[in-house]
Chains A and B, each alone.
Chain A
Amino acid sequence: MSNKTVVMYGATWCSYCRALKKKLDSIGISYQYKDVDDPGIRAEMNAKTENNQTIPVLFVGTDYWINPGQEILDAQFSNNYTDEDEQKGEKTLHDVIMIGAGPTSLAAAVYTSREDIETLIFEKGVIGGLAAITDKIDNYPGFEEGIEGLQLAEKLQKQAERFGAKIELGEVQSLKKEGDYINLQTTSGEMTAKSILIGTGSEWKKINIPGEKEFYGRGVHNCATCDGPFYRDKKLVVVGGGNSSAQEALFLTKFAKHIDILIRKDKWRASDVLIREIKDNDKITVHFNTTADEIIGGEVDGMTKVTKVIGTKNDKKIDFITDGIFVFIGLRPVTEYLKGSGVKVDDKGFVITDKKLKTNIEGIFCAGDVRSGATMQIASAVGEGASAALSIREYLGALK
């Protein structure tokens, strides 16, 4: 940046203004702040911005931007970023570190960062979590035509970042409360936080049958949006009787010529809408009272591939000739990093909280799919994230 004067127009009641101030302060920019609640200042801003009525406005010299995003700040002030700034991040005491950037944490981060609570989110996989790799989400309110998982994830991310939340691509390996604060070992170094939100959600369960491990990624898959395109005009088996299994099977019909869905019970656990869509799809055959017992493969066109799934249908052995198998048989909580933390989990490994989403350890909160009693719905995860954020705010207020 040259030596241009930096001026910001804003107001104390404006959350975007608070977020921008915070960003400028963190970069170490020297700027003049002008409050538009003063009629004279407001008139001055209007005159300089062709009667713009929106704040915040940032002037760098004579150029100005209304509510500038990170890319504008990077372009204008990147010379002010130093290695020291970057290193400082590792040493800083964070207000809240959220673990897992799924819908839960992203929603919580909208609330915390909008309230000036400094927020860092860790994500070791996909921003948006399992929601991001779901083809289409039809039951998330506000999108009457449904929305692609990846698109929803991007919207949630942008909304959280708009208020200043930061997302770090890395993994929290362990955490431990020491004194008032929580120490974390991460792939980005050691960190300390005043509060933690556990929002690591869940991941697909393995089916644990012979052949699963051997052919994983070579015919055995958990991500239809990733690996579905490998099965153009091929035959597939999908295992599972819930919403995810139904939704992903429908997605896979874009590629596969036929799909056998194997459901252990005698009926679906999926929603009626999806069941109707499945019934109307002539590429899909549903097999109730059917288990997948073994995955068989061999050399096909010079590649090791799945060729058959041996199952049991109504107590009789049955072969499903197939090119691949996608498994969606339920979710397990992601909590490995909590070992040694003292955070209590239930007999299935889900984190136990009270009604305010507090765990048994002060300052550590939990919400979303990883929480004991969660409904495994994106809308619920988002709601729990918001509730957790309010509890975190209350906790941090009392801590000061």
Chain B
Amino acid sequence: MKKITVYTTNTCGYCKMVKKWLDSKGVKYNVINLDDHPEKQKEIYEKSGALTVPVTLIEKEDKTEEVVIGFNLSRLASVV
């Protein structure tokens, strides 16, 4: 089963849209709020190569990872 993590900040509108879209597809996910966990900034950078949110990390069954930066519907739809 895919494990999905969404990196967010408190006031980020695009983050809300990613969560809303995942909810609409009935997909379960974890949220890492970088306002609450600033120490995870390095992690998001290592995964995405950027310091921006939202970032959605999809860990697949075969342990490979897909990273979607921003609210990119076509990318999300193809990897989730």
A232: chain B residues at CB < 8 Å are 38
Whether B71 lies near A227 (C-beta < 8 A) is no
A170 to B20, CA, bound (A): 13
- B 44-70 binary contact with A (CB < 8 Å = 1; else 0): 010001111110000000000000010
Q: Which residue of A lies closest to B38 (CB)?
A: A232
A302 to B4, CA, bound (A): 25
Whether B41 lies near A230 (C-beta < 8 A) is yes
Cβ < 8 Å to B, chain A residues 199-235: 216-219, 221, 223, 225-230, 232
B29 within 8 A of A: no
- Tell me the smallest distance from the CB of B78 to a CB of chain A, in Å: 11
A367 to B42, CA, bound (A): 42
Q: Beyond A126-B71, A171-B73, A303-B45, is A217–B13 a contact (Cβ under 8 Å)?
A: no
Whether A227 lies near B24 (C-beta < 8 A) is no
Q: Beyond A218-B51, A230-B41, A305-B51, is A125–B17 a contact (Cβ under 8 Å)?
A: yes
Q: Beyond A126-B71, A170-B73, A302-B42, is A133–B13 a contact (Cβ under 8 Å)?
A: yes
A150 within 8 A of B: yes
Selected contact of A149 from candidates B9, B13, B21, CB within 8 Å: B13
A170 to B74, CA, bound (A): 8
A230: chain B residues at CB < 8 Å are 34, 41, 51-52
- Tell me the smallest distance from the CB of A391 to a CB of chain B, in Å: 30
Whether B38 lies near A217 (C-beta < 8 A) is no
- Tell me the smallest distance from the CB of A21 to a CB of chain B, in Å: 25
Whether A226 lies near B14 (C-beta < 8 A) is yes
Whether B13 lies near A226 (C-beta < 8 A) is yes
A124: chain B residues at CB < 8 Å are 73
Whether B38 lies near A127 (C-beta < 8 A) is no
Cβ < 8 Å to B, chain A residues 163-199: 169-171, 187
B12 within 8 A of A: yes
A216 to B49, CA, bound (A): 11
A148 to B12, CA, bound (A): 11
Whether B17 lies near A169 (C-beta < 8 A) is yes
Selected contact of B71 from candidates A125, A135, A225, A305, CB within 8 Å: A125
A150: chain B residues at CB < 8 Å are 11, 13, 16
Selected contact of B17 from candidates A126, A221, A229, CB within 8 Å: A126
B54: chain A residues at CB < 8 Å are 226
Whether B11 lies near A226 (C-beta < 8 A) is yes
A305 to B35, CA, bound (A): 19
Selected contact of B12 from candidates A169, A226, A302, CB within 8 Å: A226
Q: Beyond A217-B52, A219-B51, is A227–B13 a contact (Cβ under 8 Å)?
A: no
Q: Which residue of B lies closest to A149 (CB)?
A: B13
A363 within 8 A of B: no
- In this complex, the member of A218, A221, A229, A232 whose beta carbon has the largest number of chain B beta carbons within 10 angstroms is A229
27 sampled A-B residue pairs with Cβ under 8 A: A124-B73, A125-B14, A125-B17, A127-B17, A133-B14, A135-B11, A148-B11, A150-B11, A150-B16, A169-B21, A171-B73, A187-B74, A217-B50, A217-B52, A218-B50, A219-B51, A226-B9, A226-B14, A226-B52, A228-B11, A229-B9, A229-B11, A229-B34, A230-B41, A230-B52, A232-B38, A303-B45
Residue ranges of A at the interface with B (Cβ–Cβ < 8 Å): 124-128, 132-133, 135, 148-150, 153, 169-171, 187, 216-219, 221, 223, 225-230, 232, 301-305
Residue ranges of B at the interface with A (Cβ–Cβ < 8 Å): 9-17, 20-21, 24, 34-35, 38, 41-42, 45, 49-54, 69, 71, 73-74, 77
Which 5 A-B residue pairs are closest in the complex by CB-CB distance? A217-B50, A225-B11, A217-B52, A226-B12, A133-B13
